[in-house]
């Protein structure tokens, strides 16, 4: 297994600084023993103009097999011979990524006491891996590295045997990456993507692999177009771990987009309606409609899902009929504002026992959300990408299953009545879609059918004879017998019934 890292330099910034950044002196060849063999670091060239560090890992295949770690994903070694004669000593793979941590640990963290500013800045890099096992071929290699800021990603298939081109290509590619990146970013990418491409992790994937993946993926994995493939392969397709990782990445993504939208969401809607003709802001009319629907349903313990900055939670707290209120939002910033609005820190004990704010993504089932009388999704669904909506649907209607669910969302038909809204625009930049009344009814009807609820619709705001009201609300009520099975939710309900 072999990999080189090269950089170029100038008289002021000599290429040999690479030695400081990697914490390995260019004049010395060094040897390290890792759990699977011996790693050597040496510099085939080291001048102020150009410097190359090479990492060579000598794997002991016999030791690998004896440790029972040379197995494929299937478990047992294929055959007696195959388990000794394998490609591990030659191919860059997950073992290489173990070697990267063992040998370049400080560089991976971006630490460099001698030259912190050099470590923090991009430098011209060229990385070459002559034999990279790549399940998915050169095309996948390009898909994985191209979005990461490299100017050149060369992945050339290595023929099975040069003398017999008709045999086609092997599963190896020769990889060359060139571009201006921080050294630590380049190493973190390799640390994750080499084993992802190899797709045959040699060791048991332990739960702390999720943390390692997230740490190494910081700053690039959450927004990588192939993040799902990367997490799934890196975690050897262990569904539970992959889900954990994906959930964490979703939080990262939402927290990033959050910087743009949280503050403006409510204000945008409020300001748009705060005109003399409509003295009661739409947001307030919506809260009143929700409170009255919750009263009608006789709900006492209520979830406010996507609670934002806590205006509804505040209104619920003022009404003694609501004995327990849980606000959930993915945005830490929104929750902080909500906590301040509610003065959570100065609240008396009796009040504070009634209210909880917690961070969570609504597209993941959460056992803690079971057993409530009602859930409110006020102006939330339109913030999700349409393909994520079934996940939210399942989490709320399939798993949490409160007796009543209220969903409000803009009625896009009404948009022509907003004077301030340019034609064809949604009401807020973060709205992924806005539905017509017919579209909302179709969605709500299907959800109700799938999960054993009935649904009724209530207009919120002035109900225009032509285009309808600005906000549409669906009131879902769980069928009393709860006999309709909603696909996967049956299990959940059986468990719930047992618990009760």
Residues that bind ligand SAH (CB under 6 A): 258, 262, 265-266, 306-308, 311, 329-331, 334, 361-363, 378-380, 383-384
Please identify, using beta-carbon distances, which residue of 3 and 305 lies nearer to ligand SAH: 305
**Gap between the Cα atoms of 283 and 281, Å rounded:** 5
Torsions phi, psi for 470 (to 5 deg): -65, -35
Considering the complex, state which of residue 192 and residue 374 has its C-beta at the smaller distance from ligand SAH: 374
**Shortest distance (Å) from residue 273 CB to ligand SAH:** 13
Nearer to ligand SAH, 175 or 265 (CB): 265
Q: Nearest distance from residue 473's CB to ligand SAH, in Å?
A: 11
Shortest distance, position 147 Cβ to ligand SAH, whole Å: 23
Helix (H) / strand (E) element for 170: namely strand 169-181
- Nearer of residues 270 and 482 to ligand SAH, judged by Cβ: 270
DSSP state of 275: B
Write down the least CB distance from residue 266 to ligand SAH, Å. Answer: 5
CB of 419 to ligand SAH, least distance (A): 22
Q: How far is the CB of 392 from ligand SAH (least distance, A)?
A: 7
Give the sign of the dihedral formed by CA 111, CA 115, CA 120, CA 125: negative
Whichever of 242 and 378 has its CB closer to ligand SAH, that residue is: 378
Least distance in Å: CB of 251 to ligand SAH?
9
Residue placing its CB nearer to ligand SAH in the complex, 293 or 380: 380
Closest CA to 334 of 406, 264, 247: 264
Q: In this complex, which beta carbon is closest to ligand SAH, that of residue 1 or of residue 334? A: 334
Q: What is the DSSP letter of 378?
A: E
Nearer to ligand SAH, 51 or 375 (CB): 375
**Cβ 331 to ligand SAH shortest distance, Å:** 4
- CA-closest candidate to residue 436, choices 467, 458, 401: 467
DSSP per residue, 21-88: HHT--TT--EEEEETTEEEEEEEEEE-SSEEEEEEEEEE-HHHHHHTT----TTSS-SSHHHHHS-ST
Q: Quick one: three-class SS letters along 301-357? A: EEEEECCCCCHHHHHHHCCCCCCEEEEEECCHHHHHHHHHHHCHHHCCHHHHHHEEE
Q: What is the CA radius of gyration of the chain?
A: 29
**CB-based contact 130:154 (threshold 8 Å):** no
| Burial class for 126, CB neighbours closer than 10 Å (0-12, 13-18, 19+) | middle
Spell out a b/e string for 389-410, using b for 16 or more CB atoms within 10 Å of the CB, else e.
Answer: bebbbbbbbbbbbbbbbbbbbb
Pairing of strands 324-329, 404-410: unpaired
Q: Which residue is nearest to ligand SAH (CB)?
A: 308
Count Cβ atoms within 10 A of the Cβ of residue 457 and give its class: 0-12 exposed, 13-18 middle, 19 or more buried: middle
CB of residue 287 to ligand SAH, shortest distance in Å: 8
Element (H, E) at 496: helix 489-499
Nearest approach, Cβ of residue 234 and ligand SAH (Å): 23
**Closer to ligand SAH by Cβ: residue 201 or 431:** 431
Nearer to ligand SAH, 258 or 373 (CB): 258
């Amino acid at each position: 297994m072999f990999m080189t890292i090269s950089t170029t330099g100038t008289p002021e910034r000599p290429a040999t600084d690479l030695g400081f950044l990697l914490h390995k002196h260019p004049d010395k060849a060094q040897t390290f023993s890792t759990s699977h063999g011996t790693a050597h670091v040496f510099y085939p060239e080291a001048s102020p103009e150009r410097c190359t560090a090479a990492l060579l890992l000598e794997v002991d295949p016999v030791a690998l097999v004896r440790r029972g770690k040379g197995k494929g994903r299937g478990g047992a070694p294929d055959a007696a011979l195959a388990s000794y004669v394998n490609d591990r000593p030659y191919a860059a793979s997950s073992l290489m990524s173990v070697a990267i941590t063992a040998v370049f640990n400080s560089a991976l963290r971006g630490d460099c006491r001698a030259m912190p500013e050099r470590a923090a800045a991009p430098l011209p890099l060229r990385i070459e891996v002559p034999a990279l096992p790549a399940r998915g071929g050169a095309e996948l290699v390009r898909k994985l590295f191209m979005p990461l800021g490299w100017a050149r990603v060369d992945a050339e298939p290595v023929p099975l045997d040069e003398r017999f081109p008709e045999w086609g290509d092997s599963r190896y590619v020769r990889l060359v990456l060139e571009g201006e990146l921080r050294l630590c970013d380049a190493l973190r990418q390799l640390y994750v993507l080499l084993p992802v491409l190899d797709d045959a992790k040699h060791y048991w994937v332990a739960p702390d692999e999720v943390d390692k993946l997230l740490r190494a993926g910081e700053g690039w994995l959450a927004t990588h177009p192939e993040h799902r493939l990367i997490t799934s392969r890196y975690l050897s397709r262990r569904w539970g771990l992959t889900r954990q990782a994906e959930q964490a990445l979703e939080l990262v993504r939402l927290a990033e987009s959050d910087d743009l939208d949280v503050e403006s969401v409510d204000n945008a809607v409020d300001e748009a309606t705060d005109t003399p003709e409509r003295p009661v802001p739409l947001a307030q009319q919506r809260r009143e409609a929700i409170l009255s629907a919750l009263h009608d349903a006789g709900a006492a313990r209520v979830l406010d899902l996507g609670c934002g900055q806590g205006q509804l939670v505040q209104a619920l707290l003022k009404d003694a009929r609501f004995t327990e209120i849980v606000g959930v939002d993915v945005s830490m910033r929104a929750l902080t504002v909500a906590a301040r609005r509610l003065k959570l820190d100065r609240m008396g004990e009796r009040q504070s026992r009634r209210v909880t704010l917690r961070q969570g993504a609504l597209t993941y089932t959460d056992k803690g959300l079971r057993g409530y009388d009602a859930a409110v999704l006020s102006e939330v669904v339109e913030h999700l990408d349409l393909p994520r909506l079934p996940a939210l649907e399942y989490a709320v209607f399939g798993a949490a299953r409160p007796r009543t669910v209220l969903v409000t969302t803009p009625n896009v038909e009404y948009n022509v009545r907003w004077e301030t809204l340019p034609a064809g625009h949604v009401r807020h930049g973060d709205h992924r879609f806005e539905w017509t009344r017919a579209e909302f009814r179709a969605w709500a009807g299907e959800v109700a059918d799938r999960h054993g609820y009935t649904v009724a619709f209530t207009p919120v705001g002035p109900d225009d004879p032509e285009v309808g009201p600005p906000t549409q609300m669906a009131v879902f009520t769980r069928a009393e017998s709860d006999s309709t099975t909603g696909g996967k939710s049956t299990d959940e309900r059986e468990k719930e019934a047992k618990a009760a």
